[in-house]
Amino acid sequence: MTPPLVAVIATGGTIASRKDATGAARPALTGQDLLDLLPPMDVQLRAVELLAKDSSSLTLADMQTISDAVAVQLADPAVAGVVVLHGTDAMEETALLVELQHGGGRAVVFTGAQFSADSAMPDGPANLADAIRTALDVPGVRLAFGARALPVCGIYKAASDKADAFRLVVPAPPALPRLPQALTRQRVDIVALHPGADDVHFRASMAAGADGIVLAALGSGNASAAIVAAVAEARAADIAVITSSRVPEGVLTPTYGGGGGGHDLVAAGAVHSRVLRPGQARILLAALLANKADARQIAQAFS
């Protein structure tokens, strides 16, 4: 029998990086280079050379390019599954976009590395081998990293110096709607808040033409009276506002008042993101806006 075919899309990231003469790690290896490092496996592998970027520099347009490349491979009936090699800084965001646009079918597995290819103990080859096996075994969009396979909804990067880098916000993440329309020119900003934060950064996003704003709020999704007032103005201007949190785990509940709590933000028109943290909340909001979702549909998606 002919071995199954897995397409491996290379986008750069640490897994493809080596240190240059200055000591800086930069993407240097192609997808085929990385496949050549694998032990023999009973599978056909197709290298797709797409990007060579650090994921910290990826734009929403770049993420859409990756999602489109996944769609091309899934359209090939010969492909049993797809693996995406990706930097860890934004892996949770691009993976969620692919889940929203292409989830529910054949396997799409994201992986990468914490340590560059020329480090003393590179973790990329083992992660890649695991991702290929997962792509032949588990349908849907997954993350294969640090010897674990995780759903992509509700994942976050929990460590910058450990091979097992990713965790889930909640043990059983919710299902999300299919949002097939491509991202185009949506601008969604994340505004980080601190205790007593004023509205300077929030209003700067409004002035820059943001279509949506995600608050990286405190606690279970709390801010200040100044932010609550600015949210009300943003909603009056038809700018969508989502409240998430800098707290990494747990369900977020808009409980507190006091002028700037989560309850007050909801009253001002913000939608509480019960599970998704700021990075993934930004992707979901951008996808909802691209699909012309109304206020009710946005609230439903985040609840």
Radius of gyration of the chain (CA): 20
CA distance 200 to 203: 5
CB 254, CB 226: distance < 8 Å: no
Strand (E) or helix (H) holding 219 = none
Question: Among 14, 65, 94, 134, which one carries the catalytic annotation?
Answer: 14
Q: Which two tokens stand for residue 16?
A: 């493809």
Tokens of 130: 């695991």
What one-letter code names the amino acid at 134?
Answer: T
C-alpha distances in Å from residue 32, one per residue of 69, 232, 270: 17, 51, 46
**Distance (Å, rounded) from C-alpha 245 to C-alpha 254?**
11
Residue 14 a catalytic site member: yes
Distance (Å) of CA 164 to CA 88, 158, 179, 276: 11, 9, 30, 20
CB atoms within 10 A of CB 149: 16
- Residue 200 tokens read as 């300077």
Q: Which helix (H) or strand (E) holds 99?
A: helix 91-102
> Is there a contact between 142 and 65 (Cβ–Cβ < 8 Å)?
no
Where would I find the H helices in 117-256?
124-135, 200-207, 225-236
Residues with a catalytic annotation lie at 14
